[in-house]
Amino acid sequence: MIRSKCRNLDRRIVVGIGDDAAVIKTSPHRLGVLTTDALIETVHFNLDYFSFYQLGWRSLAANLSDVAAMGGKPIASLVTLGLNNRVSVEEVLEFYQGMLALAEKFNCSIAGGDIVRSPQELVVSISVLGEVEPKKIAKRSGAKIGDLICVTGALGEAQVGLELLLRRRKNKRFKFPVHLTRKHLVPLPRLAESSFLTSNFEISSMIDISDGLASDLYHICEESKTGARIFADQIPLGPRAIYGARLLEKDPLQFALYGGEEYELLFTLSPSQAKRAIFRAKFKITPIGEVASSREGIFLHKKGRQQRLLPKGYTHF
Amino acid sequence: MIRSKCRNLDRRIVVGIGDDAAVIKTSPHRLGVLTTDALIETVHFNLDYFSFYQLGWRSLAANLSDVAAMGGKPIASLVTLGLNNRVSVEEVLEFYQGMLALAEKFNCSIAGGDIVRSPQELVVSISVLGEVEPKKIAKRSGAKIGDLICVTGALGEAQVGLELLLRRRKNKRFKFPVHLTRKHLVPLPRLAESSFLTSNFEISSMIDISDGLASDLYHICEESKTGARIFADQIPLGPRAIYGARLLEKDPLQFALYGGEEYELLFTLSPSQAKRAIFRAKFKITPIGEVASSREGIFLHKKGRQQRLLPKGYTHF
């Protein structure tokens, strides 16, 4: 409903509402990528297991991941903090340090922003402006029947980190190696991977896994008007996801399917292109399924059986 | 401290932290303007006197005013809403309607955004991408000794609107004509005025009055390393400010000096340029003082006396 109201006012909006980021024609041969993300304390993070440094890093990472999902490169970001009076100046500086550490890795400037008062929850709102070459734009729509569905890296590690932190919050004696939480606390957006993929291959659709593999696959299928077949035993489970799931006595596959804030890329391309990409890439690409007709729906094939994949996020406990 | 940490990473940042908006080189001959603003319920607005339509309008207006202050034109905006469960779908649509009504006036697209959950206060975070021609950039720095200090429109009307609404909140029987609150509830950013000024004249510095005339004059003087002399009897008091101040039994000059969210432009230019601008403009431009040396400080001249102008906002009651 909102989407139809926000019909684009001029032709400069190349990609509008309904994708990871907006793409805007800033000059005849240049396209800007614009994305924004708000994080609210208790909803998106808790300060009892997030340091301010990690929070700064993570807040920017979510935005850079959206830029990566469009095939873009970041240029500059603005950050607005809504602070209550429990936050100290040192903590704010720590937040900026974390954000800058990530920004510098990807040559993204912190170009401005604002600090306002927030009576209750801490609020972080970040906007990033990037750029994308017209031929590199990777939208959610564009997946074609027969394309392979691939992911970068390994899955389940972000969710396992969150689960371990939540478990320890309930039970202070619960112990685990700290590195298992890294992908939740300080994720790395896949900008280099996105650039490699969109520069060298015909990526028919792409999204970053922020809601969870199942949900984000739904976004691609919805925008591309297709279905999908995913093969459970092909989903690359991260070693930390397997280790952490054992500690938690849970199934790592559930983390991989439904865990959010993974920030890996989920994308589709033709089988021949996929073969070449896997051969040439210096990072891990795993085909996990194939694009089917929309009539077929979205299914997970597991041990010879198939079950409808639901676009839900991970449900705690 | 934060500013020094956020040293610009590359040469594409033309104006960084410390101005109304960031200016970024998006291509050799194009400059992007990027600005963001967060509004938090109870801190920046109250829903007992703001309709959702007005809130949508006002939230975007603050950002468009920042674009105007840089001499730019808006292209597209992204909006993130943090909603608690008291907000209905109809109210969200009403918010978008208000935002769109203003966006359409200035040819600004709503290109995307996000809706997240906020446990307590409603949060609105808007980012706007615009563009500015290199020769039209109006920074806060650049005011020169001897320049005239001018404002667009009339002052005090935004603050008077807020004061009337706050008085009625305390005393339900307090009555006033609704139009007196318009400039607080649905302000019009001065984009056309900014474009006229920056296209035709050498504007040495410019800012939008969002913190209040006194505070924003301080921002200009600080960034330009100057002082200022302001003449109280030259400050253009809006008729609504005078009328409303009478109802409130207050001094309209205080509203004009310290009232925030006025969204008029405060700018400096040489006396000869000012003369031409006032002659040619189809809107009201009023010289209210002159740029002095920084050693001289920032003073208000009133009835033959001079007093130090303090960079404070309006203090209620």
A219 min Cα distance to partner chain B (Å): 15
A residues 244-273 closer than 8 Å to B (CB): none
- The predicted pLDDT at position A53 comes to 97
Q: Percentage of chain A surpassing pLDDT 90?
A: 81
Examine the pLDDT at B182 and tell me if it is beyond 80: yes
Binary contact (B110, A6; C-beta < 8 A): yes
What average pLDDT does the segment B239-263 reach?
Answer: 96
Q: How far apart are CA A125 and CA A114, in angstroms?
A: 10
The chain-wide mean pLDDT, for chain B, equals 92
User: Residue B10 is nearest to which of A78, A82, A107, comparing CB atoms?
Assistant: A107
Complete DSSP assignment for B22-33: EEEEEETTEEEE
pLDDT in tens, B202-226: 999 999 999 999 999 999 999 999 9
- The predicted pLDDT at position B317 comes to 40
Count Cβ–Cβ pairs < 8 Å, chain A vs chain B.
Answer: 219
- B26: nearest CA partner in chain A: A26
- The predicted pLDDT at position A37 comes to 86
What average pLDDT does the segment A111-119 reach?
Answer: 88
Phi, psi (deg, nearest 5) at residue A277:
-65, -45
Q: How far apart are CA B289 and CA B148, in angstroms?
A: 6
Q: How far apart are CA A134 and CA A31, in angstroms?
A: 7
The sheet that has A22-27: what strands, in order across it?
A13-15, A22-27, A30-40, A123-132, A73-83, A109-117
Residue A78 parent element (H or E): strand A73-83
B residues 95-134 closer than 8 Å to A (CB): 96-97, 100, 103-104, 107-114, 116-121, 123, 125, 127, 129, 131
What average pLDDT does the segment A15-39 reach?
Answer: 82
Examine the pLDDT at B258 and tell me if it is beyond 50: yes
What's chain A's Rg over C-alpha atoms? 19
Q: Which of A150-154, B74-78, B283-287 has the least mean pLDDT? A: B74-78
Residue A100: list chain B partners with CB under 8 A: 5-6
What average pLDDT does the segment B22-26 reach?
Answer: 85
Cα–Cα–Cα angle for A266, A269, A275, rounded to 5 degrees: 105
Please, which residues bridge with residue A83 across strands?
Answer: A117
Given a contact cutoff of 8 angstroms between Cβ atoms, the answer to whether A291 and A145 are in contact is yes
Q: Which of A85-89, A152-156, B102-106, B133-137 has the least mean pLDDT? A: B133-137
A164-188 exposure pattern, b = at least 16 Cβ within 10 A, e = fewer: bbebbeeeeeeebeeebbbbbbbbb
- B91: nearest CA partner in chain A: A2
A65 min Cα distance to partner chain B (Å): 15
Given a contact cutoff of 8 angstroms between Cβ atoms, the answer to whether A131 and A195 are in contact is no
Best-predicted range by mean pLDDT (A126-130, A138-142, B123-127, B150-154): B150-154
Please, which residues bridge with residue B307 across strands?
Answer: B300
Please, which residues bridge with residue B207 across strands?
Answer: B266
Cα A197 to its chain centre, rounded Å, is 16
Q: How far apart are CA B60 and CA B126, in angstroms?
A: 7
Please, which residues bridge with residue A132 across strands?
Answer: A31
- The predicted pLDDT at position B257 comes to 96
- The predicted pLDDT at position B114 comes to 81
Phi, psi (deg, nearest 5) at residue A282:
-95, 10
Residue type, A306: Q
pLDDT in tens, A186-209: 999 999 999 999 999 999 999 999
Q: Name the band, by pLDDT with cuts 50, 70 and 90, for residue A4.
A: low
Q: How far apart are CA B298 and CA B292, in angstroms?
A: 8
Examine the pLDDT at B16 and tell me if it is beyond 90: no
Residue A111: list chain B partners with CB under 8 A: 6, 8, 13, 16-17, 22, 24, 34
* Residues whose CB is less than 8 angstroms from the CB of residue A141 and which lie 6 or more positions away in sequence, other chains included: A205, A223, A224, A225
pLDDT in tens, A224-265: 999 999 999 999 999 999 999 999 999 999 999 999 999 999
B205-239 exposure pattern, b = at least 16 Cβ within 10 A, e = fewer: bbbbbbbbbbbbbbbbbebbebbbbbbbeebbbbe
- The predicted pLDDT at position A105 comes to 95
- The predicted pLDDT at position B159 comes to 95
Examine the pLDDT at A280 and tell me if it is beyond 70: yes
- State the ipTM, two decimals: 0.84
pLDDT in tens, B127-170: 999 999 988 988 899 999 999 999 999 999 999 999 999 999 99
Binary contact (A78, B36; C-beta < 8 A): yes
- Helix residue ranges per DSSP H, B6-71: 52-69
Binary contact (A111, B2; C-beta < 8 A): no
Binary contact (B112, A35; C-beta < 8 A): yes
B201 min Cα distance to partner chain A (Å): 25
The interaxial angle of helices B89-105 and B52-69, nearest 10 deg, is 30
- B38: nearest CA partner in chain A: A80
Residue A123: list chain B partners with CB under 8 A: 38, 40, 82, 118, 123, 125
- The predicted pLDDT at position B315 comes to 62
Binary contact (B24, A129; C-beta < 8 A): yes
Q: Name the band, by pLDDT with cuts 50, 70 and 90, for residue A317.
A: very low
Q: Which of A60-69, A107-116, B67-76 has the least mean pLDDT? A: A107-116
Mutate to test the interface with A, among B27, B35, B36 (most CBs of A within 10 A): B36
Q: Percentage of chain A surpassing pLDDT 70?
A: 95
- The predicted pLDDT at position A204 comes to 97
Q: Percentage of chain B surpassing pLDDT 90?
A: 81
- The predicted pLDDT at position B160 comes to 96
More confident residue, B83 or B21: B83
Single out the residue of A243, A251, A93 nearest to residue A182, CA to CA. A243
- The predicted pLDDT at position A3 comes to 64
Mutate to test the interface with A, among B41, B91, B116, B117 (most CBs of A within 10 A): B116
Flag whether residue B88 sits within 8 Å of chain A, measured between CB atoms.
no
Examine the pLDDT at A30 and tell me if it is beyond 80: no
For B174, how many CA atoms within 13 A lie in the half-sphere containing its CB?
Answer: 14
Q: How far apart are CA B55 and CA B61, in angstroms?
A: 10
